[in-house]
């Protein structure tokens, strides 16, 4: 009897102490590039033409929209220094009305890049378990810090965008940091290697004339009614697999 009880207790303790693994939903194999692109918003490097587009088409917030109001797609590449994004946004109005980058940043037009270095998933709203970088039209990069205040992370993401008519092309370089990152401590970004898995999602805040953003369009399907989960929970991120 004692032996059976001990076995049951051991099983219960194992279950309580086990960590739920993130489910890999949207898996993207990411192409390797030898040389980092010149971040100029022009996609002039030949390798960009060899990489497939991925859709930005999941409406996380807001009502229906037409193609001319918003349409988005992106390409992604990597090397040891980081991730590289080429994003094409069709948007008839670009809005950047809040001058202070640390106030109401989510209500202006901006890209939001979600990165979970070890693809572990889990909560990250006030931690660096994962990052939710809001990249504004003026280049400022904002995320919530562990002290629950917004901070600039401009040294994590470099971006340049160019606009022709209603099409804006973004080119971005993203340094990947792990959960041990402490702002101002000199922690170095992670050196990326083949077959590494990284949690990832991309989204766009679209606002034409309203006091609040009108739509929030992401790259991954989020089940349930509340689809605005990425800034809190990295479980909804897709999974990148770095290939060489």
pLDDT of residue 105: 85
DSSP alpha helix (H) spans, 74-194: none
pLDDT of residue 10: 44
pLDDT of residue 127: 97
pLDDT of residue 13: 44
**Please, what are the domains in the chain?**
27-242 (2.60.40.1190)
pLDDT of residue 18: 45
pLDDT of residue 106: 87
Q: Which residues contact 48 (CB under 8 A, 6 or more apart)?
A: 37, 75, 77, 86
First to last CA, the chain: 56
pLDDT of residue 67: 83
Which residues partner with 116 through β-bridges?
199
244 residues of the chain, pLDDT tens digit each: 444 544 444 444 444 444 567 888 899 999 999 999 999 999 999 999 999 999 999 999 999 988 878 999 999 999 999 999 999 999 988 888 888 998 988 888 899 999 999 999 999 999 999 999 999 999 999 999 999 999 999 999 999 999 999 999 999 999 999 999 998 888 999 999 999 999 999 999 998 878 889 899 999 999 999 999 999 999 999 999 999 9
Give the Å distances, CA to CA, from 135 to 35, 76, 86, 102: 24, 16, 13, 12
pLDDT of residue 19: 53
pLDDT of residue 25: 82
Dist. CA 69–CA 214, nearest whole Å: 11
Name the pTM for this structure.
Answer: 0.89
């Amino acid at each position: 009897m004692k032996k059976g009880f001990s076995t049951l207790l051991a099983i219960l303790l194992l279950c309580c102490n086990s960590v739920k693994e993130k489910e890999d939903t949207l898996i993207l194999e990411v192409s390797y590039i030898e040389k980092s692109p010149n971040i100029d918003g022009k996609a002039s490097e030949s390798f960009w033409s060899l990489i497939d587009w991925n859709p930005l088409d999941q409406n996380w917030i807001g009502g229906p929209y037409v193609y001319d109001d918003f349409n988005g797609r992106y390409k992604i590449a990597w090397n040891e220094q980081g991730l590289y994004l080429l994003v094409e946004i069709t948007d008839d109005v670009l809005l950047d009305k809040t001058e202070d980058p640390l106030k109401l940043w989510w209500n202006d037009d901006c890209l939001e890049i979600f990165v979970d270095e070890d693809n572990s998933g889990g909560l990250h709203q006030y931690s660096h378990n994962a990052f939710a970088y809001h990249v504004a039209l003026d280049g400022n990069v904002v995320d919530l810090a562990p002290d629950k205040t917004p901070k600039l992370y401009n040294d994590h993401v470099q971006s340049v965008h160019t606009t022709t008519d209603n099409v804006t092309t973004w080119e971005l370089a993203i340094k990947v940091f792990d959960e041990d990152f402490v702002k101002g401590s000199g922690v170095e970004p992670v050196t990326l290697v083949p077959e590494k898995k990284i949690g990832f999602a991309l989204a766009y805040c679209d606002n034409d004339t309203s006091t609040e953003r009108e739509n929030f369009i992401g790259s991954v399907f989020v089940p349930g009614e509340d689809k605005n989960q990425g800034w809190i929970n990295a479980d909804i991120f897709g999974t990148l697999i770095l290939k060489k």
